[in-house]
Amino acid sequence: EIVMTQTPLSLSVTPGQPASISCKSSQSLLHRNGKTYLYWYVQKSGQSPQLLIYEVSNRFSGVPAKISGSGSGTDFTLRISRVEAEDVGLYYCMQSIQFPLTFGGGTKVEIK
Amino acid sequence: QVQLQESGPGLVKPSQTLSLTCTVSGDSINSGYWSWIRQLPGKGLEWIGHIYDSGVSYYNPSLQSRGNISADTSKNQFSLRLTSVTAADTAVYYCARGLGDWLRIEYFDHWGQGTMVSVSS
């Protein structure tokens, strides 16, 4: 199975400052059809995970522009340009190029 | 809007079968990938499996053939059965709608609120 490795495990950020989360996959997530099957979710306290980003860099409906995704192949990054209290939560990357679908271990974002 | 709601026992004895049902509103389970995902205590997310075309299913090999997902289109529900459970199956279980193309499921866009299932005697 494809192993998804996220770093750091946790991040404490001053409000208004940027945050960056890395996700590395053990195999390339680029399919021969040109799509890269890498997705980002956030799970806020007491809630279910919510989709943030699909196919590396496309924001899902309602996701603010301060959240962005980038990367290719096996290395990906989620960025929050200015962290606010509403951004606190657990962030997960996920791959769906191959069964079983697998998630990263999660990155906890907190406010300082 | 699409809503999913899990239901089932919150406590299951070791070696018995865990059974959960997901009731869907706002969409038909005749299309799409209807999925089960679990979150082990203090750990991350694990895809369990999904069903599509109301009958074709795929499972995570980590379940070692203990999982079965079925659909009841008349009730717009799909269900998970996990046999021979152990304490390692204690988790929050989510049902979710998966979207994708004819080739594969790509991502989950709607999730249920999750239901905690504990395996204990």
What average pLDDT score do residues B47-74 get?
Answer: 92
Q: For residue B102, name the pLDDT band (cuts at 50, 70, 90).
A: confident
Whether the predicted pLDDT of B43 surpasses 80: no
Pairwise CB contact (< 8 Å): B105 & A101: yes
Share of chain A above pLDDT 90, in %: 100
Q: What are phi and psi of A81, to 5 degrees?
A: -70, -40
Pairwise CB contact (< 8 Å): B94 & A60: no
Q: Give the CA distances from residue B99 to residues B29, B33, B50, in Å, rounded to whole numbers and listed in that order.
A: 12, 6, 11
What average pLDDT score do residues B9-29 get?
Answer: 97
Among A1, A35, A48, most B C-beta atoms within 10 A, so best to mutate, is A48
Tokens found for residue B107: 């991502």
Share of chain B above pLDDT 70, in %: 100
Pairwise CB contact (< 8 Å): B58 & A99: yes
B52 at the A interface (CB within 8 A)? no
- Own/partner pairs, A64-70, CB within 8 angstroms, 24+ separation: A69/A38, A69/A40
B114 at the A interface (CB within 8 A)? yes
Among A101, A102, A107, A108, most B C-beta atoms within 10 A, so best to mutate, is A101
Pairwise CB contact (< 8 Å): B44 & A54: no
Q: Render A33-85 in DSSP notation, one character per residue.
A: TS-B-EEEEEE-TTS--EEEEETTTEEPTT--TTEEEEEETTEEEEEESS--G
What integer pLDDT is reported at residue A5 of this predicted model?
98
Which H or E element spans position A102?
Answer: strand A102-103
B12 CA: distance to closest CA in chain A (Å) = 23
Q: For residue B31, name the pLDDT band (cuts at 50, 70, 90).
A: confident
Residue A5: CB atoms within 10 Å? 13
Q: For residue A17, name the pLDDT band (cuts at 50, 70, 90).
A: very high
Share of chain A above pLDDT 70, in %: 100
d(CA A77, CA A80): 10
**Contact between residue B62 and residue B46 where contact means Cβ atoms under 8 Å apart:** yes
Q: pLDDT tens-digit profile of A27-78?
A: 999 999 999 999 999 999 999 999 999 999 999 999 999 999 999 999 999 9
Among A6-10, A80-84, B18-22, B38-42, the minimum mean pLDDT is found in: B38-42
